[in-house]
């Protein structure tokens, strides 16, 4: 017989003090959460002196961009016919709305400030949490900027007083549409991302989409000679969509077209209501499943044996390479780079209209990208780097393994870039020089990364985080490190690049051979030198390095 | 001596207003074959001291020796003599459990067959055979501790330095691991564990050191340190700081 005294009497219900305390109301919750968000914003922006400088510079930059957009819209109103003004207003408004919504999925698990699951333990009303999240956006970073941006945006209607007044009146509604959509999609994305693999694939897809935005948009608007007519058709369609309807209302009101104005306002209202309804559901789910438990998807993926560790030689450097390569495949922070490369090829193809021009530099650029990725390698390891220290792996083996892990996908991808470049431009006589420059970029860059990352690091997204996550705690030094690393890598390729350019200009085949020789001789030498020197540095300062990278959050 | 610490000191942020002495002239000898418990409150400096012993944190002053090898002079040899379970660190969690232990073995320059054999044995000992192929990031907190423990033992070191090894580990696994460690010590191996569970230390360890505020308060065999009382009472006496329970939070009662 169990001792009943030990079991709390759950049946007592309201008579018990459990949960009898009155929970704060909707408005008070909203106010509390807004205050919390304001404090978090201030704390984030003033974490360190370096951060304050960054905040001021970033703020000035943001204001500058807003000012430019505002000036552009102001000028557009004067320069364009009324239909042009309407098209500008609708398309810019719709694009900003879409940007806000898509940003939600991009940041995904990243911006969890005020996320509902953090408040699951507190007896807060759901509506209050929602209110807090919307009001909280006002005291965040993007929210105020958007508000200022929207104010500037109304300048597009400056020539028509009626439209301008309507736009100003509708401004809060527009802002609300953006923010509520953002919160709603954040909550939905969170639900999706709970299946890790799904979340990761979504992230990678988005990365591709973002990179291809330019070509896709250009493709939509160009190709046909009558650009103007096309834009107006697009505008008319967009003006009836949930993201565009609201932005077209001022034009309707100004034209006295009351029925369309009413209909579009209706569309916007229904959209807002639908978003609120969806958000309510997702919020409820987040509050009920607040443990943050990640489901690894149907039939937990099992690695057979020791995976790549069985395939590569049983040496410390090869073990490091196997580990790095596993991460290149499995960790979106690395595999993002692998996905980006083919997309880069598409971009080159698009921008150079088939062959020539930029294509010539496809190989070297891929090489640089791959080499640069490992300049943050120790920071990507984060606390895992402790294992390398504890096992006493020699510094050169640590460096060599990382370089080999990068080169295994890096060499084929760079070679593909070179071959595609030569093929599409039908410039096979440039092949030796392109190989030379690419070899120097990839191998010399890898050498430089090996040295840089042994001492100088910068914050990166932590293990398990989305590659889109903006790491916190950037200092002026970190930015300088990245700048210097990239500049040095560029400078490093000059000895092969200069003869290559000479060949491009004069057609001298000898210059191409010189480029090839410089690349295939200096590249491996620089790489080996970088591994040796980086190894020395890392052995001298491994604990300090671990201290620095494990403090990133 | 398996381990000897001499005047080990760590000052965080020296020369600044927020300067903090985390470990203060700590000297300690751990004989070969000892099962040594390091006890102290949260923030007493246990992890900082162990990090300096294991080569993860450079001391501000003082020396740490493992079997006569200077950890900060001949670091490679010293690291091969130790197996370490650090606290507050995570290893490469996208690897599977088996991969992680294999990685630790290969990094230490062991040959493939030995690593494979020992990895199998360790997974079995840790009751993780069925989870060997699962990514460590999908492990529970206790499973993580166990796989990191396995990674610390794969090269059969003479000294194990384990920071909070039983935190979140289920009682059955904990009993298995305890037995394993005791056999290891009986065979001449040296174990240092940090913990704040006094009962566990009293039952499991033969030696104990009490650390508070970065300083060594007492050290010796468990019987020497505790005298006629329980270790917990001795500890509370040494460290002090008990609040008058019952008077402080009178409102904390149901009904």
Residue B18 at interface with chain A, using a CB cutoff of 8 Å: no
Q: Which of residues 294-333 of A touch B (CB under 8 A)?
A: 294, 296, 300-307, 309-310, 314-316, 318-320, 322-323, 326-327, 330-331
Q: Quote the minimal CA–CA distance from A189 to chain B in Å.
A: 20
Partnered with residue B82 across adjacent β-strands are B159
Distance CA A48, CA B248 (A): 38
Structure confidence at residue A119 as a pLDDT band (50, 70, 90): confident
Instruction: Check A392 against B79: CB less than 8 A apart.
Output: yes
Q: pLDDT tens digits for B108-159?
A: 999 999 999 999 999 999 999 999 999 998 898 889 999 999 999 999 999 9
Set of chain B residues whose Cβ sits within 8 Å of the Cβ of A309: 99, 102-103, 106
The full set of domains in chain B, from first to last, is 3-89+159-239 (3.40.50.300)
pLDDT at A377 over 50: yes
The pLDDT, as a whole number, for residue A451 is 94
Distance CA A17, CA A10 (A): 11
Residue B70 at interface with chain A, using a CB cutoff of 8 Å: no
Average pLDDT, chain A: 81
Q: pLDDT tens digits for A70-90?
A: 888 888 777 778 888 888 888
Chain A: residue whose CA lies nearest to B56: A543
Q: pLDDT tens digits for A483-494?
A: 888 899 989 999
pLDDT at A226 over 60: no
In this prediction, residues A408-418 reach a mean pLDDT of 93
From the CB of residue A440, how many other CB atoms can be counted at a distance below 10 Å? Answer: 32
> Among A18, A319, A546, whose Cβ lies nearest the Cβ of B107?
A319
Contact predicate A205/A335, CB 8 Å: no
Q: pLDDT tens digits for A150-206?
A: 888 888 888 888 888 888 988 989 988 988 888 888 777 766 665 666 666 776 777
Domain ranges (residues) in chain A = 26-190+229-288, 308-550
Residue B97 at interface with chain A, using a CB cutoff of 8 Å: no
> Among B75, B86, B103, whose Cβ lies nearest the Cβ of A323?
B103
Q: Quote the minimal CA–CA distance from B69 to chain A in Å.
A: 14
Total length of chain B: 255
The pLDDT, as a whole number, for residue A14 is 44
The pLDDT, as a whole number, for residue A470 is 64
Q: pLDDT tens digits for B80-90?
A: 999 999 988 88
From the CB of residue A163, how many other CB atoms can be counted at a distance below 10 Å? Answer: 25
In this prediction, residues A490-511 reach a mean pLDDT of 90
List the end-to-end C-alpha distance of chain A, in Å, as a whole number: 51
Chain A: residue whose CA lies nearest to B251: A17
Sign for the pseudo-dihedral over CA of A534, A540, A542, A545: negative
B82-104 as b/e: b if 16+ CB within 10 A: bbbbbbebbbbbbbbbbbbbbbb
Q: Which residue has the tokens 């295994």?
A: A408
The region of weakest confidence among A286-300, B54-68, B89-103 is A286-300
Structure confidence at residue A222 as a pLDDT band (50, 70, 90): low
Instruction: Check B84 against A464: CB less than 8 A apart.
Output: no
Instruction: Check A307 against B108: CB less than 8 A apart.
Output: no
Pairing between β-strand B20-30 and β-strand B215-221 as defined by DSSP bridges: unpaired
Instruction: Check B119 against A306: CB less than 8 A apart.
Output: yes
The region of weakest confidence among A1-10, A331-340, A492-501, B82-91 is A1-10
Distance CA B45, CA A351 (A): 59
In this prediction, residues A362-372 reach a mean pLDDT of 90
Q: pLDDT tens digits for A254-305?
A: 888 889 899 999 999 999 999 988 888 887 777 776 655 554 444 456 777 7
> What ipTM does this complex have?
0.92
pLDDT at A219 over 80: no
Distance CA B200, CA B222 (A): 12
pLDDT at A223 over 60: no
Instruction: Check B94 against A330: CB less than 8 A apart.
Output: yes
Set of chain B residues whose Cβ sits within 8 Å of the Cβ of A320: 107
Nearest to A174 by CA among A251, A261, A242: A242
Query: Would you state the structure tokens that stand for residue A386, as one six-digit string?
Result: 């402790």
Contact predicate A545/A384, CB 8 Å: no
For an interface test with B, the pick among A16, A392, A465, A550 (most B C-beta atoms closer than 10 Å) comes out as: A392
């Amino acid at each position: 017989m169990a001792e009943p005294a030990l079991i709390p009497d759950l049946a007592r219900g309201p008579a018990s003090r459990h949960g009898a305390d009155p929970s704060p109301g909707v408005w008070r919750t909203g106010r509390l959460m807004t205050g919390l968000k304001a404090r978090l914003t201030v704390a984030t922006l003033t974490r360190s002196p370096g951060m304050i400088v960054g905040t001021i510079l970033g703020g000035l930059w943001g204001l500058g961009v807003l000012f430019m957009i505002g000036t552009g819209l102001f000028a557009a109103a004067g320069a364009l016919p009324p239909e042009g003004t309407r098209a500008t207003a609708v398309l810019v408004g719709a694009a900003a709305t879409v940007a806000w919504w898509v940003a939600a999925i991009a940041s995904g698990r990243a911006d969890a400030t005020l996320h509902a699951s953090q408040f699951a333990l507190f007896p807060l009303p759901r509506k209050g949490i929602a209110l807090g999240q919307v009001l909280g956006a006002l005291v965040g970073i993007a929210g105020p900027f958007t508000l200022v941006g929207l104010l500037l945006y109304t300048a597009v209607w400056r020539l028509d007083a009626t439209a301008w007044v309507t736009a100003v009146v509708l401004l809060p509604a527009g802002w609300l549409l953006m923010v509520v959509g953002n919160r709603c999609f954040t909550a939905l994305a969170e639900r999706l991302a709970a299946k890790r693999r799904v979340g990761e694939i979504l992230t990678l897809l988005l990365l591709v989409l973002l990179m291809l935005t330019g070509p896709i948009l250009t493709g939509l608007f160009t190709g046909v000679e009558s650009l103007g007519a096309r834009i107006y058709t697009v505008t008319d369609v967009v003006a009836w969509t949930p993201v565009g309807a609201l932005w077209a209302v001022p034009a309707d009101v100004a034209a006295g077209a009351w029925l369309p104005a009413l209909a579009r306002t209706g569309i916007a209202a229904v959209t807002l209501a639908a978003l609120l309804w969806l958000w309510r559901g997702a919020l409820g789910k987040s509050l009920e499943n607040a443990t943050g438990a990640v489901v690894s998807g149907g039939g937990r993926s099992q690695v057979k044996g020791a995976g790549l560790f069985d395939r590569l030689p049983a040496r410390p450097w090869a073990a490091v390479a196997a580990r790095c390569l596993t991460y290149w495949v499995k960790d979106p922070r690395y595999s993002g780079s692998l996905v980006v490369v083919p997309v880069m090829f598409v971009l080159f193809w698009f921008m150079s209209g088939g062959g020539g021009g930029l294509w010539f530099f496809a190989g070297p650029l891929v090489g640089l990208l791959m080499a640069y990725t490992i300049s943050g390698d120790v920071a990507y390891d984060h606390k895992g780097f402790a294992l390398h220290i504890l096992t006493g792996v020699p510094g050169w083996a640590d460096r060599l393994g990382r370089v080999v892990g990068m080169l295994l996908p890096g060499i084929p991808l760079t070679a593909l870039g070179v071959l595609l470049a030569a093929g599409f431009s039908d410039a096979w006589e440039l092949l030796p020089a392109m190989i030379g420059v690419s070899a120097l970029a990839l191998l010399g860059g890898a050498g430089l990364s090996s040295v840089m990352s042994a001492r100088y690091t910068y914050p990166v997204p932590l293990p398990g985080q989305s590659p889109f996550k903006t790491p916190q705690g950037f200092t002026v030094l970190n930015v300088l490190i990245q700048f210097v690393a990239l500049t040095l890598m560029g400078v490093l390729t000059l000895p092969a690049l200069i003869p290559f350019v000479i060949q491009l200009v004069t057609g001298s085949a000898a210059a191409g051979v010189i480029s090839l020789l410089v690349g295939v001789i200096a590249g491996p030498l620089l790489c080996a030198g970088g591994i040796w020197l980086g190894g020395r540095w890392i052995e001298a300062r491994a604990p300090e390095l671990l201290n620095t990278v494990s403090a990133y959050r | 001596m398996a381990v000897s610490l001499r005047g080990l000191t760590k000052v965080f942020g020296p020369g600044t207003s927020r300067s903090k002495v985390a470990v203060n002239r700590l000297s300690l000898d751990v004989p070969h074959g000892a099962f040594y418990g390091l006890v102290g409150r949260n923030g007493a400096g246990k992890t900082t001291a162990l990090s300096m012993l294991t080569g993860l944190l450079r001391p501000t002053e003082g020396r740490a020796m493992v079997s006569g090898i200077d950890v900060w002079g001949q670091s490679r040899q010293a690291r091969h003599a130790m197996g370490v379970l650090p606290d507050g660190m995570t290893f490469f969690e996208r690897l599977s459990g088996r991969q992680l232990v294999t990685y630790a073995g290969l990094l230490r320059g062991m040959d493939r067959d030995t690593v494979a054999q020992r990895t199998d044995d360790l997974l079995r000992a840790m009751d993780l055979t069925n989870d060997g192929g699962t990514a460590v990031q999908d492990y529970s907190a206790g499973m993580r501790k166990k796989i990191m423990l396995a990674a610390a033992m794969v090269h059969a070191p003479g000294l194990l330095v384990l920071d909070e090894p039983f935190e979140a580990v289920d009682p059955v696994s904990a009993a298995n691991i305890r037995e394993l460690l005791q056999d290891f010590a009986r065979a001449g191996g040296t174990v240092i564990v940090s913990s704040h569970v006094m009962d566990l230390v009293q039952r499991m360890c033969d030696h104990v050191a009490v650390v508070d505020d970065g300083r060594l308060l007492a050290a010796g065999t468990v019987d020497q340190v505790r005298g006629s009382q329980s270790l917990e009472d001795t500890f509370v006496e040494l460290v002090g700081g008990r609040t008058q329970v019952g008077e402080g939070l009178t409102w904390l009662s149901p009904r």
